[in-house]
Structure 1
Amino acid sequence: MNYKGSCHCRGIAFEVEGDIKQVVSCNCSMCSRRGSLLWFVPRDSLRLTTPADRMGTYTFNKHVIQHRFCAKCGIHPFGEGTDPSGNRMAAVNVRCLEGVDFTAIPVQHFDGRSH
């Protein structure tokens, strides 16, 4: 399925292809503060539909995930990194997708605070 998503002001907009079977709720210092529910997809499944220079980037801890956010409204629509096998991945915040009832999606809890 193809989904459309964006930050609040639509300065960052994107499309992402895939099936949302579950999302991850992480308790690390970043995720717990922003309240995102993450859907992991291959990075090639996500396509920006706005210029990349509208994004800010934040890294912390091991500096392996590029947390993307809108420099104008501050919303975090996705992050980018690699999985343990070295594959490029995107962590899409399903709360930023149009028409998705994220309350109906199974949530896997991840203890990011301990990693």
Structure 2
Amino acid sequence: MTEKTYHGSCVCGACRFEAQMDLSQGTTRCNCTACRKRRTWAITVPRDALTVTQGETIGYQKAVVDYRFCPTCGTTLYGLADIPEMGGSTATIAIATLDDATPEELIAAPVNWVDGLHDDWWSTPDEVRHL
């Protein structure tokens, strides 16, 4: 697969974005409290690969991530962070918000599990079945 532009939106359609990404390069599932409660499946891209095309999100800061969501329906769309170990300024986009990713692309996308619960981002948690 190669990099392509995907379009995403919240449930009510008030907030929309587009982002350049290559799903075949891997996605992430995390066991930290925030991701576990949201059942987040995400892909991290350089911040400049994300363009907001409609609406304004609101957010809150948890640790180093600025989580952005729709003020109308509450859908979490992406998180923004500046983490040198991950390449600097990034956007971590919720896979569930992608409108035009096909089931085949999602099935083929590798999933990398990370142990955010213990701040051990470079390791896989011992258990992931409940996530």
TM-score (norm 2): 0.79
Query: What is the deviation of 1:10?
Result: 1.2
Query: What is the deviation of 1:95?
Result: 1.0
TM-score (norm 1): 0.89
Q: Which runs of 5+ in 2 are unaligned?
A: 120-131
Q: Given the alignment of the two structures, is residue 45 of structure 1 paired with residue 49 of structure 2, yes or no?
A: yes
Superposed CA deviations along residues 11-60 of structure 1, whole A, max 9, x for unmatched, are 110000121121100111110111111101011000000133xx121222
Aligned runs of 1:47-86 on 2, under 5 Å? 47-52=51-56, 55-60=57-62, 62=63, 64-85=64-85
Higher relative contact order (CA 8 A, sep 6+): 1
Query: What is the deviation of 1:81?
Result: 0.5
For residue 27 of structure 1, the aligned residue among 31, 35, 54 is: 31
Cα-Cα RMSD: 1.4
Larger radius of gyration: 2
Count of matched residue positions in the alignment of Structure 1 and Structure 2: 111
Q: Which runs of 4+ in 1 moved over 6 A?
A: none
Contact kept in structure 1, 2:30 and 2:116, CA below 8 Å: yes
